[in-house]
Structure 1
């Protein structure tokens, strides 16, 4: 059994996407969701920090690791995807070359698409001040990365080739994230085609249905206090 410490954010969705796909691939890993309400400050609770010292979710605890030993905890969404893909033997390629291809695009998402799109969202949606330089800077970078992805997808069904992998699961949740400040995807036909294909997968639909179950208030305006907690200010200090 795996405990998944989760809140419905792009990084949280990465892990539910994989867990639901594993069920469809005949490699089901049973999991229980442990909600981490990042608006209330649950990510700063000492018990959670023992699992995720960077006070970020998602995180997991695997109570049945492959070595049969004590439970293993993993934080950082990319590390979780790699751990679960290796544990299950699915969605991470079958040979060294495919694994390299998948891994480098997973790192591209972790170091580029996610952080830059996240900063775009911060300055366009959440920031208390309208800072034109920051808004332009991160809009340009988000669009540059979408251009990289669009070129990569040309002639390929998925990021690493014909097979759907954890590289796709990592990147998909970061496309079209901000309803209040949407990035125009018209210039990126390959991204739109790829995104639509993943959206139609039954596992994707189940994974995203969890969002409303875990956080029925998703989409409602956040208070100033919730925003502070969301962006890393410990309410206990």
Structure 2
């Protein structure tokens, strides 16, 4: 049996789920290597040849004989390669790109810092109330931007479900892990509900493993929080 064109290297993080969502939604065959952060596999020389930044996700496109890193670049490549979830009209494509960059430049960095200071720095003895408030407040502001934009719309860009939605959803939906509120944001919550109801998305959020504490207010996050804080303790000490 021939190997699929796409080999995905990823982990169960907000960025790591993005290409899995696309591949599951598009029904594209792929194989997967789950990267173990505890073993620093993302920093191993063979992996750095594929992704010089030593992060996830990365794909190898065997048909084209090349690797691609950065989640936005990966989704754009897959959307163009398979002709799915990216409109052909240049104005609509620009809309998709704008919201993808909104995630890369704002949603991911701000929510990531809110999560870092609460779930990694604080448990490792670096409680920073000012930093936590700054990043949680900015997370809330960005969620408000999304809510305002989604008024009267089902999807973020181009009037259809696109890779822009796939880019932002794993981050924005993890407001639970960022400890940010979505109260009073009905359009955003309706968008969450629409994407939550997609079977391919729910399957993708279990690959390479499920992290229900990212999304579910009822999930017991205590064990994961302790494990996660210990895994990244060296990062805090270096800071």
TM bin (shorter chain): 0.7 to 0.9
CA RMSD, aligned part only?
Answer: 2.2
Give the TM-score normalised by structure 1: 0.86
Distance 1:180 1:106, change over 3 A: closer
SS at match of 1:112: helix
Hey, what does 1:68 align to over in structure 2? Answer: none
Q: How many residues align?
A: 220
Cα 1:229/1:43, change in 2 over 3 Å: farther
Question: Which shifted more, 156-165 or 9-18?
Answer: 156-165
Structure with the larger helix share: 2
Structure 1 residues 46 and 201, CA gap change in structure 2 (3 angstroms): same
Query: In structure 2, what is the equivalent of residue 94 of structure 1?
Result: 88
The alignment's TM-score, normalised by the length of structure 2, stands at: 0.85
Give distance in 2, aligned partners of 1:48 and 1:230: 20
CA distance in 2, matches of 1:162, 1:232: 46
Q: State the alpha-carbon separation in 2 of the partners of residues 95 and 231 from structure 1.
A: 46
Q: Which residue is equivalent to 1:151?
A: 148
Structure 2 residue 110 is the aligned partner of structure 1 residue 116: yes
How far, CA to CA, are the matches of 1:159 and 1:108 in structure 2?
11
SS of 2:56's partner is coil
Instruction: Output aligned runs, 1:1-237, within 5 Å.
Output: 1-23=5-27, 28=28, 30-65=29-64, 71-127=65-121, 128=124, 129-177=126-174, 179=176, 182-212=179-209, 220=224, 221-222=226-227, 225-228=230-233
Q: Deviations over 1:75-95 (max 9, x none)?
A: 111110111111111111121
Gaps of 5+ in 1: 66-70
Structure 2, unmatched stretches of 5+, are: 212-220
